[in-house]
Amino acid sequence: MKSLIGKISHFRDKNKLKNFGCKFSNGTDSLKSTQQILMESHSRISQGKLFSQSIMIGGYSYVRSGYEFYGNIEIGRFCSIGNNAIIGLEKNAHPTDWLTTSMFTEEFEELYTGTVTNVQPPKTVIGHDCWIGRDAVLMSGVKVGNGAVIGARAIVTKDVPDYAVVVGIPAKLTRYRFSQEIISQLTQLKWWTLSPEVLAETPLNNVATAIKLLEHNVDKACYEKLQLSKNKVTHL
């Protein structure tokens, strides 16, 4: 009986998300009572390991399968996150100033995790229009700027500027997507706040033309918001 109720709840929540163009493949029954996800319409999260207490994901962003999410995470709109990405990985998972890095007894583990959990973990923030390649790792507290590109298998240990392209271990800046003049215009424009219908009619493959067409547009987007918690989807 309990299994049947769970299946009905899963089907109901799945359909409710689908009505807003959303997907959460793990299902709300997989969430713990302390976990919450805030999704804007047209956002999708595939199957993965979710250790985060709080996640926010913006409209038209997606996360491919195989991810691992830790801590508190905020993802902007129009982001593309590849398979097996690890985001919010704790930097202090093991003691480096003890005699050993191994917590080989429960007493040692409790002692160390007690000192770590007393400190509020920093939020890991991914801006709007970011592309994160497969197998990339973002350490806890990192801020990825709007329009940034993170190369596949890169390990990001520090903040990434707007529209920067970073690759490698540790991730290093290789170039910017646009000139500083264009980046300044895009930062001021904040095109991700505009209506998707307007964006769909804009020549996005010509950045200079797109900026001219959009800079005086006041047709703002209106995204629906859904809050996911244990066995529940709430339309806010």
What does the domain layout of the chain look like in residue ranges?
Answer: 2-235
Active-site residue, selected from the candidate residues 10, 94, 128, 216? 94
| pLDDT tens track for 124-142 | 999 999 999 999 999 999 9
Supply 48's token pair: 């993965």
Instruction: Convert 12-25 to b/e letters by CB count within 10 Å (16 or more is b).
Output: ebbebbeebbbbbe
Domain 2-235: CATH architecture, name and number where available = 3 Solenoid (2.160)
Residue 117: pLDDT above 70? no
128 tagged catalytic: no
Grade residue 106 by pLDDT with cuts at 50, 70 and 90: confident
| pLDDT tens track for 50-64 | 999 999 999 999 999
Q: What percentage of the chain reaches a pLDDT higher than 70?
A: 91
The mean-pLDDT minimum among 36-45, 105-114, 161-170 falls in 105-114
Grade residue 6 by pLDDT with cuts at 50, 70 and 90: low
pTM: 0.89
